[in-house]
Structure 1
Amino acid sequence: MNTKPLNSKSLRRGRPAALVLAVVAASTVALVSCGDDNDSSGSSNSQAATPPTASFSGMTPSALKSAASSAVESARAAASAAASSASAAASSFEASVSAEVARASKDAQNELKDVKGQGNAMSDVAMTGKPRAQTSGLLAVLVTITNKTDKKASYAVQVDFLDSAGKVVETRYVGAENLAPGAKAQPVAISTKPPEPVLTPKLAKAQRY
């Protein structure tokens, strides 16, 4: 068997093939490496896209519905309590004022029955309407009596309630006894008629005695 020595030309022809094989091998390794990286990266992205339920906060829909229902019931209870309180206050006001009116009404009426005209103390008396919200819906007038003389005096006042035609529908009497000079009294005249039709209060008589 004859063995021919390799010359430099043969070595040069073999180098390109070796280089090609090296490049192919390196490319294969690179592709495998990229594939591993993509799998790892894909897995990481998948986990990041689904956050853990422990990171959520707040109430479930059923809990929110229950809380809203509770709030509505609380508001209704508060409104009902407020309405009851207002009604009780109005009733208390009416009772206390009625007692005051009852004490003075009869004496004032007796004093005025023989008075001709409007009396001698119209300038000592003024009237102011009270809000119906404070009087259980009744028409009430605060009558302010001021003793403008220099000695003690008593007063009798007549308040008429007129309809839209000017007709007297109801008359109430209030008074004040033994007012010192410069002192004031504020009895209340209350109409017992229904809120409708609306009546107008009028100072009819005021007598100082």
Structure 2
Amino acid sequence: MPRTKGVLLTAVAVCCAAGLTGCSDDNTPSSVSSAASKAASAAESLGSEASAAASSLASQAQSALSSATAEAGRQLDEIKNGVDVTSDVALGSPGTEDGRATVDLTVTNTADSTKSFAVQVDFTDSGGKLLDTVVVTVSDVAAGRTGTTTARSNRALSGTVKARVARAVRY
């Protein structure tokens, strides 16, 4: 459950409990006050559980992102005799497909023979915070020609998503 829903449910339950408690007087059975107290306690518990669940999901997402970043680095580091060609990669405008962020990219082979490319694309939010990273390949681009592919995030991303070339290797 998202943190904002848990906080909202907690606030509603506490207000209801406060309303019931405020109605208590000498003519009101103690069970009403007891019910109000139990409702407030349940609301606090629900808020704590929602907060813990949100924290756990955030931790899992960060772990997955760290793993994807490490894997992207490993893939690019394994390329033997590669040349850094980040400036030879152009990105289109990010979009979405089935909830996943996408971006078209074009590589230009400035070498004098056919080459392949491995490109790490980072998907970020509007503030530059890393949301996901992927490595795509464009194989067998003839000398002096361009090749294209589409990078897709590993998972659904929401909000404004930007894309940037983190690394590009020609081999």
TM-score by length of 1: 0.41
The structure richer in helix per residue is 1
The structure richer in strand per residue is 2
User: Greater RCO between the two (CA within 8 Å, min separation 6)?
Assistant: 2
TM-score by length of 2: 0.49
Structure index of larger Rg: 1
